[in-house]
């Protein structure tokens, strides 16, 4: 594994690379409040299969720069970051592999620049959620503005060790500590008061404008590269919204795989996910 830095317009994107120099390329995109280390189990397996895998930390996540002070993180900004990263990597073509929020970003980028993406792999997501509901625009905007006016980026909770922070994250993402530790460690920063999450706190603010379900499904039905959808079985909280069946239908993926596990199955079920991915990429 190699640590990398990719300068793009807004600042520096940090990441991890496995299988450097391998001819086949994968750009891996993590989920909300996660980071590149969420691929620490899956990426080495893919590298052994001949792939160079670069997993990035999205802005405000992991070790990447935060957005400028006073700025809001919009969903589309992360898609711009993907474009900036791929411009710097100068790959002819690659596979986009996204988990959760990363899967939503991946499909949006893939329909806009399908000529640059060889295949698309989506794990545990089918676009932005929750979608806009008619009649809620004004109330949602008011709540978002209120949050923005009262938020602050000062860290108020500190942990005396990585293990104590790991215990907290384990409650939200239960799995073997050995597998979860790289993700937690990359999310932490040490200060005189102890460890705190380095993740940009603005990422938890409500979006001022939401994508409509109609727009999301328009994206899903757009022309795109051959697509694989990997879902946990039974269905997880991340796909509990009412339109999920319709979104799956609209996506019309060439390959749909269900694997027994939870939302982060690419971490503790990495072997099964790898076999599914390689089977799709070798088609």
Which residues participate in catalysis according to the annotation?
A: 100
Q: Indicate the angle between helix axes 213-221 and 244-251, nearest 10 degrees.
A: 30
For residues 220 and 247, is the Cβ–Cβ distance under 8 A?
yes
Whole-number Cα distances in Å, 169 to 174, 183, 197:
8, 10, 11
Give the start-end residues of each E strand in 138-197: 188-191, 194-197
Q: What is the largest CA-CA distance in the chain?
A: 53
Contacts 24+ apart (CB under 8 A), 174-177: 174/262, 175/262, 175/264, 175/267, 175/268, 176/268
Phi, psi (rounded to 5 degrees) for 170: -60, -30
- The residues facing 122 across adjacent strands are 98, 229
Output the CA angle 124-170-175, nearest 5 degrees.
Answer: 60
For residues 227 and 250, is the Cβ–Cβ distance under 8 A?
no
Give the start-end residues of each E strand in the chain: 2-7, 12-18, 24-29, 51-56, 94-99, 117-123, 188-191, 194-197, 227-233, 255-260
């Amino acid at each position: 594994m190699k640590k990398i830095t990719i300068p793009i317009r807004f600042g520096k994107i940090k990441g991890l690379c496995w299988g450097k120099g391998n001819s086949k390329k994968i750009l891996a995109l993590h989920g909300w409040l996660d980071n590149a280390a969420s691929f620490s189990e899956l990426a080495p397996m893919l590298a052994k299969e001949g792939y160079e895998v670069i997993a990035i930390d999205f802005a405000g996540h992991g070790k990447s720069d935060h957005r400028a002070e006073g700025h809001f993180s919009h969903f589309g900004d992360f898609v711009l970051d993907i474009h900036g990263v791929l411009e710097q990597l100068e790959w002819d073509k690659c596979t986009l592999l996204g988990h959760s929020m990363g899967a939503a970003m991946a499909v949006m980028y893939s329909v806009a620049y399908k000529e640059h993406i060889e295949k698309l792999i989506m794990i545990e997501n089918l676009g932005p959620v929750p979608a806009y509901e008619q009649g809620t625009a004004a109330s949602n905007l008011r709540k978002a503005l209120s949050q923005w006016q009262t938020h602050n980026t000062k860290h108020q909770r500190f942990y005396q060790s990585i293990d104590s922070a790991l215990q907290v994250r384990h409650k939200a993402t239960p799995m073997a500590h050995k597998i979860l530790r790289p993700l937690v460690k990359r999310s932490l920063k040490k200060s005189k008061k102890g460890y705190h999450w380095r993740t940009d706190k603005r990422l938890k603010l409500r979006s001022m404008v939401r994508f409509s379900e109609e727009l999301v499904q328009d994206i899903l039905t757009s022309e795109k590269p051959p697509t694989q959808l990997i879902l946990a079985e039974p269905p997880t909280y991340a796909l509990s919204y009412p339109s999920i069946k319709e979104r799956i239908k609209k996506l019309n993926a060439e390959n749909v795989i269900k694997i027994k596990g939870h939302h982060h199955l690419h971490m503790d079920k990495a072997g099964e996910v790898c076999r599914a991915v390689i089977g799709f990429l070798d088609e």
